[in-house]
Structure 1
Amino acid sequence: DHGPVGGDTHTTEVCTLHPGFIVGPAVLSGSASSSVEGLAKLLSGKIPGVPILHNPIVDNRDCALAHLNALKLMISEPGKLHGKRFSLVKESIWFDEMTVLMNNYFTENSINLKAPTKRLNTRLLKFAAHFDKQIGTIGKLLGQEYYFNSEPSKELLGIEYHRSLQ
């Protein structure tokens, strides 16, 4: 461990923000997150169904606001967030329920897209996870229900998760 160099007494303050599956309007054209890439494959027909996967959801605008509020708080009240971890999650939903909501949106807005709603066989996906790196990243999550506590982000970062898939 090295002490301050040249009398510099600045300390590094670290807190971590852990967003769920990020949804919402694209902020930059041509930018694609892993969430967007997965949905693009789903909508292109490359994936015939949906995995039995429970997704914690957060809107990208709420996620951005949480980051901004954390930075402001770190400047205005140094040390208050140091070492803290925040789950950024509005709600959790099964993937097939999410695709039903997407299809409703497409229909209501005359968008010629349709996401599959049929659940894929979990055993086959777990087997395929041994050979496909992308499937491997979700293999252990299949069929498991997950919920996250976002109360600390509401209390300390002032986030109100008002956006939803509905």
Structure 2
Amino acid sequence: MATVLVTGGTGFVGAHTIARLLDDGHTVRTTVRDPGRATVFGDRVATVTADLRHDDGWARAAAGAEYVLHVASPFPAGTPAHEDDVIVPARDGALRVLRAARDAGVRRVVMTSSFAAVGYGWGATDRVFTEADWTRTDGPGVTPYIASKAVAERAAWDFVDAEGGGLELAVINPVGIFGPVLGGGLSPSVRIIAAMLDGGMRIAPPVWTQLVDVRDVADAHLRAMTSPAAAGQRYLALSGTPVSFAEIGRILRAHLGDAAAKAPTRTAPAALIRLLARFSPRLNDLVPQLGVVRRADNTKLRDELGWTPRPTDETVIATARSLTHR
């Protein structure tokens, strides 16, 4: 068993990844921005205060670790005043983690990137995206957050190539991450399910997403951490085919009964969403995604690392049930 540093351990993916590492018998350390913010794992996990925007703490966090799982990444609460407000912390934060890992003699870093670094900026297309593709940051529909994922991942690969020494890098590129909530706040994807359950989304926008279960994302990280084949590779993590928001609503209605009585099963016209978006910044971010169906291929992760994702229905139901039990 190894000593593993997980950045952002209080987040959705970080918490599930830590839980899996502990189950497998690893010694786990995690980083927190706020020293007063405890993790759900108590004294089973050592914490180090470190912020992606500053150098302090990263050398101590990485010291003695054999592996680093870099899960932390800034996610803006709203549209930032300037794109650099989200791009710079994501890029520079990744580089801080990589430098600290290299200097500490870490064997491998597994970085959580995103499908946002792979399949955006292409407009409407029938293309099935693979790990060979990159988001065109100057293309249509690319928000600052989407651009930040592509910029940060490219910077990570460039750093390892030019300055990494013996440090290995592997990257996981998940699509929309759903699944059971362990504690703390809700991720943006889980908030979609929450809005469907509580009536906040009474009619579905014409938006499609590909899903992956957070437990399967954690599994992908652990497989990429130890597999010799994963060094120098990126992996798309997704389950099944794209699903519309209305289809998600129908899954909820079919399996949760009264708890999902408010879930939407009808789709709003795109023109209505565009009209409402003039008065709602939250809806305005959806406009470039209206009617766009993006497809990706998980063959590489399944074939090279033996990864098997849960079905979409199972993930949607598990997400909703965890919310109803909170």
Q: Residue 101 in 1 paired to residue 251 in 2? A: yes
> Residues 1-166 of structure 1 correspond to what in structure 2 (within 5 A)?
10-26=165-181, 28-73=182-227, 77=228, 80-82=230-232, 84-91=233-240, 92-107=242-257, 111=259, 113-165=261-313
Amino acid at match of 2:204: V
User: TM-score of the superposition, structure 2-length normalised?
Assistant: 0.42
Structure 1 residues 133 and 157: CA distance shift in structure 2, 3 A: farther
SS of the residue corresponding to residue 144 of structure 1 reads coil
Deviation at 1:80, TM superposition (A): 4.2
Deviation at 1:140, TM superposition (A): 1.2
Structure 1 residues 9 and 104: CA distance shift in structure 2, 3 A: closer
SS of the residue corresponding to residue 61 of structure 1 reads helix
Structure 1 residues 9 and 162: CA distance shift in structure 2, 3 A: closer
What is the alpha-carbon distance in structure 1 between the residues aligned to residue 169 and residue 286 of structure 2? 28
Q: Which moved more, 1:126-135 or 1:145-154?
A: 126-135
Contact 2:196 2:262 in 1 (8 A): no
What's the C-alpha RMSD, in Å, of the aligned pairs?
Answer: 2.6
Query: Relative contact order, CA 8 A, sep 6+: which one is greater?
Result: 1
Identity value in percent: 24
Deviation at 1:30, TM superposition (A): 3.1
Q: How many residues align?
A: 153
Amino acid at match of 1:135: L
Give a deviation string over 1:109-154, Cα, whole Å, max 9, x none.
x636430112112122234445533323332111112211111111
Structure 1 residues 155 and 42: CA distance shift in structure 2, 3 A: same
What is the alpha-carbon distance in structure 1 between the residues aligned to residue 302 and residue 165 of structure 2? 28
Amino acid at match of 1:158: G
What is the alpha-carbon distance in structure 1 between the residues aligned to residue 290 and residue 164 of structure 2? 47
Give a deviation string over 1:61-88, Cα, whole Å, max 9, x none.
1111011111122xxx2x8431x33221
Structure 1 stretches of 4+ moved >4 Å = none
Point out where structure 2 has 5 or more consecutive residues left out of the alignment.
Answer: 1-101, 104-162, 315-326
SS of the residue corresponding to residue 153 of structure 1 reads helix
SS of the residue corresponding to residue 169 of structure 2 reads coil
Point out where structure 1 has 5 or more consecutive residues left out of the alignment.
Answer: none
Q: Which moved more, 1:16-25 or 1:123-132?
A: 123-132
Structure 1 residues 112 and 80: CA distance shift in structure 2, 3 A: closer
Structure 1 residues 80 and 23: CA distance shift in structure 2, 3 A: closer
Amino acid at match of 1:151: T
Structure 1 residues 9 and 47: CA distance shift in structure 2, 3 A: closer
Amino acid at match of 2:175: G
Contact 1:106 1:114 in 2 (8 A): no
